Amino acid sequence: MLAMDVGQNPVILLRSTDGSLGGVICVADTGYHYTGLAKEQMSHVMERFAARGWSAENVECAIVGGADSAKWKIAKLLNITRTQGLSAKQIDINGLFYRKIYFDPADGAADIYREVANPDHWNPAKANLSLEDSSRAFSEGQAGGVVANATRFFRDKNIFAALGDLVIPAHLEKTPRETLHIWSSACSNGAETYSLAMFIHRRLEELGSRTNFMVFGTDINPHLVDAAKSGIYQLIRSDLTKWRPYFERYGQLDGGNIVFGDEIRRHVSFRVFDLKNRPRKYRFRMIVCANVFQYYSNEARRFFLENFTAVSQKPGYIFVGHASDETINGLDLHRLSDYKMLLLK
């Protein structure tokens, strides 16, 4: 049985005609990367089928789910399945629903559970979550219908530019004998956390520094935290190609899968944590909270920034995406426009 909480997204269900092999493809990305990511996933899954002796004519296919606002995704998926020589049935598409799908390849049964959604919440900028809303929304992987656990390795180049240009140099100048602490909040499945750790480890090595560091990954969803703790990931082809030197150095590659090794895992730590609370044990040189900050009201954003500044070293670097002048006023935070980041002096 394959189970997935797909939110607003359409998914592709695949099974061999004898029910011995099945797959679910879901891409939560809403930007221009969507088609490429969906093609990569489809190619990867079809390679798995082919390795087991199944060709397109022996694979059954259906496109299931997808809200009204995701009709464009359905069209993209239909084109992708046709390219693979598959004829896809369309099941329960459209409508303002969040969907959970349970798929049993053995008999081809797809059970779909729906929850009515607020149409204003398809846009992250309109989610406008309060502090009271947040725990339920993100522990279930949803923010008003927006899948909030999407992440990738080395996702935002601004973060890594700031690490190399500002964060690491500032720490080595101010406190070279102290451990460099980085907080990867709302870390989802941990890809961001491992990316930060790999980058820092290599940069310190290049500088000939023996300064210790730790990257703390936290998320309110225990299932995502468990996945991060495992250190096991299935890599999309573009990430594997672009970041292969990192993956080869810090993990064991097996085709498109990686298992991170002890060299990097000793520098990461994961735990379940609600952002409404304030960490007590460490002070951080850098805090990354890009994944969920966008979903909150300005009042909630202000609350989080007050917490972040309270547990930051000076100079401290805080990456939260967009923050209005009203939100940061009076917190001694200054914009670093070139890096889309905030500096605590």
CATH, residue 171? 3.40.50.150
Average pLDDT rounded to a whole number, residues 303-326: 92
Decide which of 59, 92, 117 is a domain's last residue.
117
User: Does residue 38 sit in the same domain as residue 164?
Assistant: no
Higher pLDDT, 32 or 114: 114
Q: Is residue 220 part of a domain?
A: yes
Q: Is residue 126 part of a domain?
A: no
Q: In this prediction, what percent of the chain has a pLDDT beyond 90?
A: 55
Decide which of 58, 85, 117 is a domain's last residue.
117
Per-residue pLDDT tens for 267-279? 999 999 988 888 8
Q: Is residue 143 part of a domain?
A: no
- Most confident stretch, 123-127, 222-226, 330-334: 330-334
CA proximity to 101, closest of 194, 193, 215, 23: 23
Q: Is the model's pLDDT at 328 over the cut of 60?
A: yes
Averaged pLDDT of the chain: 86
User: Does residue 105 sit in the same domain as residue 182?
Assistant: no
User: Does residue 221 sit in the same domain as residue 95?
Assistant: no
Per-residue pLDDT tens for 189-231? 899 999 999 999 999 999 999 999 999 999 988 888 998 999 9
- Most confident stretch, 100-104, 290-294, 309-313: 309-313
Q: For residues 249 and 258, is the Cβ–Cβ distance under 8 A? A: no
Instruction: Provide the pLDDT confidence category of residue 92 given band limits of 50, 70 and 90.
Output: confident
User: Does residue 104 sit in the same domain as residue 207?
Assistant: no
Q: In this prediction, what percent of the chain has a pLDDT beyond 70?
A: 89
Q: Is residue 122 part of a domain?
A: no
Q: Is the model's pLDDT at 13 over the cut of 90?
A: yes
Side chain identity at residue 82, one-letter code: R
User: Does residue 224 sit in the same domain as residue 314?
Assistant: yes
Decide which of 63, 91, 117 is a domain's last residue.
117
User: Does residue 179 sit in the same domain as residue 260?
Assistant: yes
Q: Is the model's pLDDT at 67 over the cut of 90?
A: no
Instruction: Provide the pLDDT confidence category of residue 4 given band limits of 50, 70 and 90.
Output: confident
- Residues with Cβ within 8 Å of 175's Cβ and at least 6 positions away in sequence, in order, are 313
User: Does residue 103 sit in the same domain as residue 177?
Assistant: no
Number of domains into which the chain is organized: 2
Q: Is residue 74 part of a domain?
A: yes
Q: Is residue 329 part of a domain?
A: yes
Q: Is the model's pLDDT at 115 over the cut of 80?
A: no
Q: Is residue 317 part of a domain?
A: yes
CA proximity to 13, closest of 109, 148, 145, 113: 109
Q: Is residue 134 part of a domain?
A: no
User: Does residue 112 sit in the same domain as residue 183?
Assistant: no
Across-strand partners of 137?
A: none
Name the 3-class secondary structure at 266. coil
User: Does residue 223 sit in the same domain as residue 331?
Assistant: yes
**CB environment 15-25: b (16+ within 10 A), e (fewer):** bbeeeebbbbb
Average pLDDT rounded to a whole number, residues 301-322: 93
Write down the pLDDT at residue 50.
Answer: 94
What does DSSP assign to residue 96?
S
CA proximity to 286, closest of 252, 222, 227, 336: 336
What's the CATH number where 108 sits? 3.30.1330.200
Write down the pLDDT at residue 117.
Answer: 64
User: Does residue 167 sit in the same domain as residue 285?
Assistant: yes
Per the structure, the complete domain to which residue 230 belongs is given by: 157-344
User: Does residue 197 sit in the same domain as residue 48?
Assistant: no
Write down the pLDDT at residue 143.
Answer: 40
pTM: 0.68
Dist CA 260 CA 269 (whole Å):
13
